[in-house]
């Protein structure tokens, strides 16, 4: 299962890299072709207004401009997919379909709790101007002390919003941990509603809707609005497993009756 998760991640990286290379090649070919076309026009030659060649000359130059614009668009797409590939590689967000998600979330929660405790104790020592006590704390350093006591940002110590953000993130992580735990305790969803299969594919981390044939365009629009996306490799409409996803899928399929 872990191998499958890493395989899917690597496939996404490769897909982005391939698209980047394809668009970079397209950009280069279009730019070179535009330059070859431009070389036909004598250097500095203006459009001869009123001449019989004016119309065809404008059209020809318009093709060159269009080709260069398309080359730039392809170059921008190549840059976008290069950034996307790098983002996937460096992304440390914890995906629910990661087989190690529960352990990673627990470790993240522990780091957040340690950080909250450090900020709390740090502010006490900063208030007392006790540098020695501060430096005895885990995670403390001279650089952090200097930054927190400099008043560079209008205050000393950790500000209130830092504690609020940490608390909000801990609540979010705890909620995800509880969700994954409850998911492991109950049987996977696998039912048929109005001829369509509603399937909880836990290995892929997706709630899937499998139709017997292609649904109507209206149903497709509703699925997309509800966050479901078509997966050719799975042959299913799917989104990340959640109670919200299940409720949406159930409502959509039940609305198909009649």
Q: Is residue 169 assigned to a domain? A: yes
Name residue 237's beta-bridge partners. 209, 230
Q: Is residue 95 part of a domain?
A: no
Question: Phi and psi dihedrals of 233, rounded to 5?
Answer: -70, -30
Q: Write down which residue in 25, 56, 90 finishes a domain.
A: 90
d(CA 81, CA 17) in angstroms, rounded, equals 6
- Left, alpha or beta for 227 (phi > 0: left; psi -120 to 50: alpha)? left
SS3 208: strand
Which pLDDT belongs to residue 110? Answer: 95
Q: How far apart are CA 146 and CA 126, in angstroms?
A: 10
Domain contains 49: yes
Which H or E element spans position 199?
strand 196-201
29 within some domain: yes
Orientation angle between helical segments 101-127 and 142-149, nearest 10 degrees: 60
- Count how many domains the chain has: 3
Site of tokens 């280069």:
28
Residue 203 is assigned to a structural domain of this protein: yes
- Judged by DSSP in three states, 123 sits in helix
The span from the CA of 249 to the CA of 237, in Å, is: 10
Query: Which of 45, 68, 90 is at the close of a domain?
Result: 90
What is the value of pTM for the model shown? 0.53
- DSSP H helical segments within 40-100, as ranges? 54-90
Residues of the domain holding 124: 101-184
Note whether residue 83 is domain-resident. yes
How are beta strands 236-240 and 206-210 bridged, if at all?
A: antiparallel
| Per-residue model confidence as pLDDT tens digits over 51-109 | 877 888 888 989 999 999 999 999 999 999 998 888 777 766 677 667 788 888 999 99
Using DSSP, state whether 16 is helix, strand or coil. Answer: helix
Considering the domain architecture, whether residues 85 and 52 belong to the same structural domain is answered as yes
Rounded CA separation 135/156 (Å): 16
- Is residue 230 domain-shared with residue 179, that is, in the same domain? no
Q: What is the pLDDT of residues 119-171, one digit of tens each?
A: 999 999 999 999 999 999 999 999 999 999 987 767 899 999 999 999 999 99
96 found inside a domain: no
Residue 9 predicted with pLDDT over 80: no
């Amino acid at each position: 299962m872990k191998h499958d998760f890493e395989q899917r991640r690597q496939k996404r990286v490769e897909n982005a890299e391939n698209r980047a290379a394809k668009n970079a090649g397209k950009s280069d070919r279009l730019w070179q072709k535009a330059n070859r076309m431009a070389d036909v026009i004598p250097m500095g030659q203006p459009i001869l207004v009123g001449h019989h060649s004016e119309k065809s000359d404008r059209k020809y130059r318009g093709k060159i401009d269009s080709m260069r614009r398309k080359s730039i668009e392809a170059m921008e797409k190549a840059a976008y997919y290069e950034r996307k590939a790098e983002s996937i590689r460096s992304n440390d967000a914890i995906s629910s379909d990661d087989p190690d998600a529960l352990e990673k979330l627990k470790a993240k929660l522990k780091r957040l709790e340690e950080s909250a405790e450090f900020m709390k104790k740090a502010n006490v020592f900063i208030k007392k101007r006790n540098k020695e006590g501060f430096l005895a704390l885990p995670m403390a350093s001279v650089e952090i002390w200097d930054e927190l006591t400099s008043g560079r940002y209008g205050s000393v110590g950790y500000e209130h919003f830092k504690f609020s953000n940490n608390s909000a993130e801990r609540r979010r992580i705890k909620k995800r941990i509880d969700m994954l735990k409850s998911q492991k305790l109950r049987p996977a969803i696998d039912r048929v509603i109005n001829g369509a299969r509603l399937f909880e594919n836990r290995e892929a981390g997706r709630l899937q809707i499998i139709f017997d044939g292609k649904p109507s365009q209206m149903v497709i629009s509703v699925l997309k609005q509800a966050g479901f996306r078509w997966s050719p490799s799975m042959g299913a409409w799917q989104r990340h497993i959640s109670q919200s996803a299940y409720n949406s899928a159930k409502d959509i399929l039940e609305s198909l009756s009649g």
